[in-house]
Chains A and B, each alone.
Chain A
Amino acid sequence: MITISKTKVTSVVLAASMLFSAQLGVTSAVASSPASISNVSTPKAPVVTSQTISLNGSNTSVDFRTQAFSGATPANPATPEVPRTNVLVHRLSQIAAAINATVTPRPVFTEIVRGRPTPVKVDASNRTFKVDVNGNTYWITQNSPIARVGAASSTAQYSALRTVTLDRAPVVISGNLHVQIDNFFSLIGGESIIVGNTKEFSSFKLLTDVLDQKLLNANTSLIVKGTENNNEYYTVSNASRVATKLNGITVDASELLPSPDGTKVAYLDENGKVFVYTFGPNGNGTEVEVSSNTTEKVELEWTDNNTLYFIMGERQNIIARVNVSTGTITNVVNDNINYKSQLNVTSDGTKMSYLVSVPAVTTANTTGLQPDSDNIEFDVTVNTNGTEPQLYVFDSTAQNPAPAKLTSSVDNKTFTTAFADGTSVFLSTDTSDDESLPTLSIVKGTNLRTLVLANVEIVNYTQLGDKLIVQGTYAEPGSTVSKDFIYEIDTFKNRAKTLFEIPADAMDISIGATSSQISYITETGKTFVRKGNSWFQLTN
């Protein structure tokens, strides 16, 4: 006899381990062996138990039962049922309500019989349920592993529909249709998502092959999906994961840059032209070619909602801005110093910081080198002296505005941030010492101070108002165990606080209006957004 406890499962999200064990046998949370149920459709001693499951991003309470099925796969009630397997089945009506699906029990078609419109059962047994979800129709039948896919308005059409064989047949328990939840979501084109040790369900496939993500606002993320040919662009609900494809973007851009107000994005085409796309309803926005200038441009950056700054020129020697409304390009810094990068401009456009680094110089004497030489030999030297990036700043409000070189040190420098008071920050690493940790170097005028996060290896950072949001790896001295966190640093008050723990493969953090609006992409292209006290997976 199977003994089903009255344990009420109250975990916030159904633990994956529980679901997995349910696939394999009796789940320890709700039942104990031995098991013996003689009728798969009418289990003995029904006990109402429920679990909270994440369905399309919403935690939903769903009743479930343990149901014995034949060990054969797919299950077939007509075949001998030895050995049996106990499987969790969940109440369909509750699942449907959470994913905006409509379930019609025992639908009938209206067909002409003997010249008159007549109700006709979908199948003779009258055990079929119609499920409409995401614009598609699915037909599942009590105690039958055979499901059908597609719309039908007659028995003839129904019989011709594509069939899908479920691993476990739906069953009616206490008058309610129950389904094996993985089977059901697979049938309707959805999927299960494993996040840590929990399992969530989506009624649609999540976006994959994500190249870039950014937060548009608290509710929406911007996603660039890589395809074999051109990239595709989507907005994705941070609550439900519902993706809306952005129509009208004709350019194959790898990165879209949201404006400060989140109403539009800027990007470059392969010829260096600047485009702006303004979002519209249902993904139907408007693309405008802002400038037909084809000089190579990199590192677009909005200052206000009408001005874009960028680095321009084949050798990235010009800092320019374009008025998005008029298309007028203005050179801001044009000093013939090549290879500018990491441009950061204050929101009023008056101050900026950037790095300048130069290529190494290779010297090779190939004079006398003969075709098809058996032994090619010539000297090669690579001179890397002076190739270290250096910090430059520019203040357009100065009496005689001119770029100023503020460093000449040999440390590796990445990221720069310009603050309105003239302070600049960069991440500095002493690459001559493998044990040296990156530090934040804070520069104002001729003064520099170094800010070290204790035991934290800073990986990157981004700006949020007058603070820095820092991604770093924390490890106790001498320990080989580390954890990754996001910190908020106030470089003016010399304060740091830990915001969130993140996985080690997180990268490319995106920040919204506050430090609680934050998202990241992993090395494998999965994106996560902060939701309450945990990370919510947006794409797969």
Chain B
Amino acid sequence: MKKIGLISLAVALFLSMFAMGAQAASRTGNLTITGSSALLPLMLQAKKEFNKSNPRVKIAVSGISSIVGPQAVKRGTAQIGTCDWDASTSVPGFKAFPGQVAHKVAAIPFAFVVHKDNPVNNITQQQAIGIYRGEITNWSQLGGNNAPIVVNNRSFGSGTRVNVIAKGLNGATGLLSSGTNYVERASSGAMKTGVESNVNAIGYIDLVYVTGNLKALSFNGVVASPRNVINKTYPIWAFGYMMTQGQPTGTTKAFIDYVQSKKFQNGSVKSLKFIPIAAIK
């Protein structure tokens, strides 16, 4: 009998005394998922939907930073590590995690973001590089208010950071790492909070977080949207991955299969502003 904390167990009604003797047929067990905060909204939604057909699987989802995903899998802390790059191969800044297998989740559009009251609506790649190098320091240099630019960056280990530097800043080096108007954010949630609470801030984040007081800037005149990623006019995006130690089995495999299913890809992946794997040609 389960323990129910706040309520009393008045009646335990058994339609049969043999109820507990039946063989459990569906998937069971615990599944822990951690890593990319960019993929956190998608993983939370997948958990809800997967549990509708698999009520006996207990799923714990969290998100902090991409590098944590494969590391948690390596340590055995999580069965699935989410990461904004394929951690089974080396990418700039990070060596491969041997023995891990990458499973695509969706394509993630990223955007440079500002407070919604910031009058600037567009940023060019050169302007973005200038800002993150500390060479452009005032919004008036972008046609905005005469106010200092507060640069928000993600901490080292962030997959969003890896992809925005590679595609938004064209792999630029010599970027800011400290300063009066420079802040590093540990997660997408912290980035959102930081930028939407400061009208002079700039940062970057994946599109699903662009709500409330956050505004996505067009990049080189192209609106940040799934549609423009698919038609190849908007370049700042990457595939997100679920990492496993070796090939997944059992409940872990079933969860990954669900995330990659047509139902989830054409459903929640789209509605949460991610891009289905198959849409990227």
Contact = CB atoms under 8 A, between A and B. Distances in A.
B155 to A, nearest CB: 7
A449 to B, nearest CB: 4
Given A428-B2, A457-B25, A474-B22, A448 B10 contact: yes
Contacts of A466: none
Interface stretch (B46-54, B122-130, B133-141, B236-244): B46-54
Contacts of B21: 455, 477-478
Residue among B18, B34, B63 with the highest chain A CB neighbour number at 10 A: B34
A405 B4 CA distance: 12
Given A436-B20, A460-B55, A446 B71 contact: no
A448 B263 contact: no
B128 to A, nearest CB: 21
A285 interface: no
Nearest to B257: A523
Contact of A477 (B18, B44, B53, B68): B18
A475 B93 contact: no
Interface in B38-65: 40, 44-45, 48, 51-53, 55-58, 60-65
A456 B278 CA distance: 38
A255 interface: yes
Nearest to A268: B271
Given A382-B72, A384-B32, A455-B16, A414 B51 contact: yes
Contacts of B2: 409-411, 428, 430, 450
Contacts of B65: 364, 366
A514 interface: no
Interface in A65-118: none
Given A211-B262, A254-B267, A455-B22, A434 B28 contact: yes
Contacts of B62: 359-362, 382
Nearest to A521: B263
B44 A376 contact: no
19 contacts: A295-B211, A295-B212, A359-B62, A360-B34, A366-B67, A366-B157, A382-B32, A409-B2, A409-B5, A436-B20, A437-B20, A449-B10, A449-B11, A452-B19, A456-B19, A460-B52, A477-B18, A478-B21, A525-B263
A474 B5 CA distance: 30
Residue among A366, A408, A456, A477 with the highest chain B CB neighbour number at 10 A: A366
9 A-B pairs closest in CB distance: A454-B16, A477-B21, A408-B5, A254-B267, A449-B11, A455-B22, A431-B58, A360-B62, A384-B60
Given A359-B40, A450-B1, 17 more contacts: A226-B263, A339-B44, A359-B61, A364-B71, A371-B156, A384-B32, A387-B60, A412-B51, A436-B24, A437-B22, A446-B6, A453-B15, A456-B19, A459-B53, A480-B23, A482-B23, A507-B53
Given A360-B32, A408-B6, A452-B16, A434 B24 contact: yes
Residue among A294, A388, A455 with the highest chain B CB neighbour number at 10 A: A455
B157 to A, nearest CB: 5
Interface in A418-474: 427-431, 434-438, 441, 443, 445-460, 473-474
Contacts of A231: 266
A97 to B, nearest CB: 38
A253 B211 CA distance: 19
Nearest to A267: B271
A414 B53 CA distance: 10
Nearest to B35: A362
Given A314-B211, A359-B61, A226 B15 contact: no
Contacts of A457: 22, 24-26, 56
B271 A362 contact: no
B145 interface: no
Contacts of A525: 262-263
B202 interface: no
Interface string A394-419: 00000000000111111110110000
Interface of A: 209, 211-212, 226, 228-229, 231, 252-255, 268, 270, 272, 294-296, 298, 314, 339, 341-342, 359-362, 364, 366, 369, 371-374, 376-382, 384, 387-388, 405-412, 414-415, 427-431, 434-438, 441, 443, 445-460, 473-480, 482, 494, 496, 507, 525
B41 to A, nearest CB: 8
Interface range on chain B: under 10, 10 to 19, 20 to 34, or 35 or more?
35 or more
B51 A366 contact: no
A361 B189 CA distance: 13
A471 B45 CA distance: 22
Contacts of B94: 371-372, 376
Contacts of B155: 366
B232 to A, nearest CB: 14
A253 B268 CA distance: 9
B65 to A, nearest CB: 7
Contacts of B263: 211-212, 226, 525
Interface of B: 1-26, 28-30, 32, 34, 40, 44-45, 48, 51-53, 55-58, 60-65, 67-68, 71-72, 75, 77-78, 92-95, 97, 155-157, 209, 211-212, 226, 262-263, 266-268, 270-271, 273, 278-279
Contact of A438 (B55, B60, B77, B271): B55
Contact of B56 (A381, A438, A479): A438
Contact of B72 (A380, A384, A388, A445): A380
A253 to B, nearest CB: 8
Contacts of B212: 295, 314
Contact of B5 (A407, A435, A473): A407
A509 B30 CA distance: 26
B78 to A, nearest CB: 6
B271 A270 contact: yes
Contacts of B71: 364, 376-378, 380
A525 B1 CA distance: 37
Residue among B8, B12, B18, B51 with the highest chain A CB neighbour number at 10 A: B51
Contacts of B64: 362, 364
B156 A359 contact: no
A222 B192 CA distance: 38
B24 A435 contact: yes
B30 A431 contact: yes
A456 to B, nearest CB: 7
Contacts of A296: 211
A229 B7 CA distance: 49
B266 A254 contact: yes
Nearest to A227: B266
Contacts of B8: 446-448
Nearest to A448: B7
Given A362-B68, A449-B11, A460-B55, A407 B1 contact: no
